[in-house]
Amino acid sequence: MENILKKIGKISSLASRYIGIIIIAFSCLAFFWRDGFAWMTNYTSVFLGVIMFGMGLTIRLEDFRAIFSRPKEVIIGAVAQYTIMPIVAWVLCKVMKLPADLALGVILVGCCPGGTASNVITYIAGGDVALSVGMTIVSTLAAPVMTPFLVYVLAGAWVEVSFWAMVLSVVKVILIPVLLGILLRTLAGDHVDKVSDVMPLISVVAIVMIIGGIVAVNAEKILSCGVLVLIVVAIHNFCGMMLGLLAAKLFHVEYTRTTAIAIEVGMQNSGLAVSLAAANFAANPLATLPGAIFSVWHNIAGSIFASIRRSGVEKLEKQDTNKKPVPEI
């Protein structure tokens, strides 16, 4: 049994690292084999709940300690998360004169908390993973209030937004699964550890099913406006990471922590954006599209950014090595 779990763990690790490529591959498959994926949209909230439950299972007591040991960086990250991305989303919608459905989808993405993929990308970048996890926890726990409030304020110019309906949706698909995961880990930590390596694979499968369903249902519409949405999503993601990087540098945050903040701000829980669009804005079917495309793009752009920051870490390590005094013989 242990050997099987180890093999699954290796597959899980590879799936997490190459999630962008996997999503692109299955999105293409969903585009051409629509009947095989379209049914998945009926279970978007369930799949997202599974992802968030998996996140809860990974949260340890040490992660909360990390939050309190890095209060300055966590606060910078949380504030940047819920200011930079929502404002950039609103500005892009105005400047690009997006139709109501797409504007709503972009704003939903901008108002969501950080995604768990940011933790993986931060690891690849050589950033402060503990800080990344801490910021994801804080922004996720704040989401039941912050996400509905920001969407209500920013998207009201395009569509009617029900604040309390959105609060309930976020509580159901985010807060409850995360808290259940934390509770199960607290009660049965040893047993959870045995299968913890499997959870990223389950999350990847769930993300692929969410996006595959959206692509299948909106295949014709992707042909007509997919390029426009991709351009907006790419600019949104780029601005998020660069402004997050700038915010961290303005407060003189150390290099690896700056990396974590930039990635956390730029990478959103776009699965939540898709779920909220499907559950609360059925009259605006295209609102799910920006979240689906963002899920693909932010993993690709995040990986590129990670490789750049990783090279910076290696340069700093070389500098530190050269500065070390040579021992006398």
- From first to last of the 329 residues of the chain, give the pLDDT tens digit: 667 767 777 777 777 777 778 888 888 898 889 888 888 888 878 888 887 787 778 777 777 777 778 788 999 999 999 999 999 999 999 999 999 999 999 999 999 988 777 877 887 788 888 888 888 888 888 988 999 999 999 988 787 777 888 888 888 887 888 888 888 888 877 777 777 777 778 878 888 888 888 888 878 877 878 789 989 999 999 999 999 999 999 999 998 899 999 999 999 888 888 888 888 887 787 888 898 888 878 878 888 888 888 887 777 766 666 665 544 44
Helix (H, G, I), strand (E, B) or coil at 268: strand
Taking the C-alpha atoms of residue 144 and residue 209, their distance in angstroms, rounded to an integer, is 24
Residues sharing a CB contact under 8 Å with residue 135, sequence separation 6 or more, in sequence order: 73, 74, 77, 78, 81, 114, 260, 261, 264
- Note the pLDDT of residue 150: 93
Domain ranges, residue 56: 2-312
Ramachandran region, residue 18 (left: φ > 0; alpha: ψ -120 to 50; beta: rest)? alpha
**Other C-beta atoms lying within 10 Å of the C-beta of residue 262:** 30
Q: Name which of 281, 284, 273, 290 is nearest 161 in CA terms.
A: 281
Taking the C-alpha atoms of residue 240 and residue 87, their distance in angstroms, rounded to an integer, is 10
Residue 130 within a domain = yes
Residue 285 within a domain = yes
Residue 214 within a domain = yes
What residue type is assigned to position 291 of the chain?
Answer: G
Q: What is the CATH number of the domain that holds 110?
A: 1.20.1530.20
Q: How many domains does the chain have?
A: 1
Residue 324 within a domain = no
* pTM, two decimal places: 0.82
Residue 68 within a domain = yes
Residue 323 within a domain = no
